Structure 1
Amino acid sequence: MKRLLLLTLPLLLAGCPKPAEDTATPPVAETPVTPDATAAPAAAGDLLPRYHWRLSDATDARNARIDALFVRADQPVQLDFADGRASISNTCNRMGGGYTLEGNTLTLGRLASTMMACADNKLMALDQEIGKRLEGPLTLSTASGDPNRLTLTNAAGDTLAFAGEPTAETRYGVPGERVFLEVAAETKSCSHPLIPDKQCLQVREIGYDDKGIKTGTQGEFQHFYDAIEGYTHEPGVRNVLRVKRYTVENPPADASSNAYVLDMVVESETVKP
């Protein structure tokens, strides 16, 4: 029985802060990226895609914490920016749309969403709660001297603070190659010089044409000795994953020259024993 189908394959293949007080030694302040600041908009435009932006704090116009945005303590709402599009994850559904950045104003276009239902009502409501706070023009600010901090303020006075974590492209210094991997439901014992009794994922690479139809002949499953960052295997569940594969320069002698990072789970199916 198939449990999850996030998006159709053709789509998958497409690929105001407070001013600092006037003192002799002013504190570090949130600094809006303004059109008058030389090269500031371009710097912000370059900065956004380099990090995963995870929600760290959110307050309304009365400075009250917006608890509805913190449903998952271990998986905060995340914003990503790439190829002119913004995506929102760690919500019930994945959401995304185009965006523009003009001076210190960030505007997200109409958000499209997957159509999953979530059993947790608070998680289900999270989509609407975050979506409505990202509507309309947003004032973008970055922390002086700390590019890993981002603040968005909407017209209603809601202020959302994000902490940045470098993307894989930033960490590895090269763009990743998009590949699709089918992961079998069960692992198998495999030999490893450093890990006794190692269990390997059983993986094969698959291809699709621009219409989302599988191409070529599917090969046999092979031992997969590497890790897939962001993926946790559940025994008895077969998955098709869209991942980014990166070349690692000068890896340690006992490490792989490739690194794999989960982009999204395309398909998930429980396999009966």
Structure 2
Amino acid sequence: MKSTFKLAISSLALMGLAACAAPNNSSSTAGSERHMDKETSLQAYHWRLFATTGKDGQPAPAIPGIGGEQVTLNFSDKMMSVDNLCNTLGSGYTIKGPKITFTSPVSTLKMCADPELMRNEQAVGKLLPTATDWSMAKADSAPDNPAPVLTLSFSDGSKWRLKGEPTATTRYGSEPTRVFLEVAAQREACSHPLIPNYQCLKVREIQYSDSGLKTRTGEWMYYYGDIEGYTHTPGVRNVLRIDRYELKNVPADASSKADVLDMVVESEQVSK
């Protein structure tokens, strides 16, 4: 007996960015380049909220995310997303020197059973468009740790502090290839040279057309190791969207690729 459910994920609108020309003088150009370097760094990290300051200047409790996870901001060249709330929020953003602005966030449409989490999501959605300034520095408590801290300031005087965690692209030093993997509901015993009684995931690759139609399904095979960010639940079949990174200078007995979960696009509960 099977019961099927799919995760319906609404697309988040991408907002255009206006290009800003810097004055043609050496000091302005240098300052612009410094901010451009920092702006590039925004995209190299996942930014996890760990401390807030209220509009009175006093420390305030950090906004909790789902399951105790930290609320996390992710930047691309045109988009910022907020993860670990009930829904994923998406916003366009622009930067001009130390100033930052976000558009009003759009959201996926999932309802959440936790009313506090929904309130937190609404509060984040209202606060982000009031951002005024940003700055970046090394972590105060870890001088030997290059992970930076991002500070966002808002018009009411409140502030967020977010610690950077390198993205997979930053850690692996290359752009990934997009792969879709179907993961069978149950692990199976497989031969492992180092681990007795090893249980492998069973996977097969799926290819889709640009219009989203399935065009090819590969053969089932054993998957040794782990897919970063994915936790398998026995009895649940999943289709995963994977970012695959090719690794260089790996030992002969190690995998030459690293797979990182980007999205669970389909799930199916399979019961015997």
Using structure 1 for the length normalisation, give the TM-score. Answer: 0.83
Match 2:134 to one of 133, 140, 151: 140
Match of 2:160 in 1: 160
Q: Which runs of 5+ in 2 are unaligned?
A: 15-27
Measured in 1, the distance between the counterparts of 2:84 and 2:183 equals 22
Measured in 2, the distance between the counterparts of 1:96 and 1:71 equals 16
Match 1:2 to one of 1, 4, 8: 4
Q: Which runs of 5+ in 1 are unaligned?
A: 15-33
Match 1:60 to one of 50, 54, 67: 54
Correspondence 1:266 to 2:265 = yes
Between the two proteins, the alignment pairs up a number of residues equal to 250
Match of 2:42 in 1: 48
Code of the residue aligned with 1:259 in structure 2: it is A
1:243 positional shift: 1.3
Q: CA RMSD in A?
A: 2.4
Identity in percent? 46
Match of 1:241 in 2: 240
Using structure 2 for the length normalisation, give the TM-score. Answer: 0.84
Q: Structure 1 residues 147-156 or 46-55, which shifts more?
A: 147-156
CA spacing shift, 1:73–1:119, aligned 2, 3 Å:
closer
Measured in 2, the distance between the counterparts of 1:158 and 1:3 equals 41
Q: Deviations over 1:7-57 (max 9, x none)?
A: 26xx59x9xxxxxxxxxxxxxxxxxxx998352221121110111110111
1:151 positional shift: 0.5
Code of the residue aligned with 2:178 in structure 1: it is R
* Aligned partner of residue 76 in structure 1, secondary structure: coil
1:154 positional shift: 1.1
Correspondence 1:118 to 2:117 = no
Match 2:63 to one of 66, 69, 78: 69
Q: Structure 1 residues 180-189 or 218-227, which shifts more?
A: 218-227
Q: Structure 1 residues 173-182 or 138-147, which shifts more?
A: 138-147
CA spacing shift, 1:268–1:63, aligned 2, 3 Å:
farther
Correspondence 1:96 to 2:98 = no
CA spacing shift, 1:147–1:233, aligned 2, 3 Å:
closer
CA spacing shift, 1:66–1:116, aligned 2, 3 Å:
farther
Code of the residue aligned with 1:269 in structure 2: it is E
Measured in 2, the distance between the counterparts of 1:64 and 1:118 equals 31
Measured in 2, the distance between the counterparts of 1:73 and 1:118 equals 12
CA spacing shift, 1:69–1:2, aligned 2, 3 Å:
farther
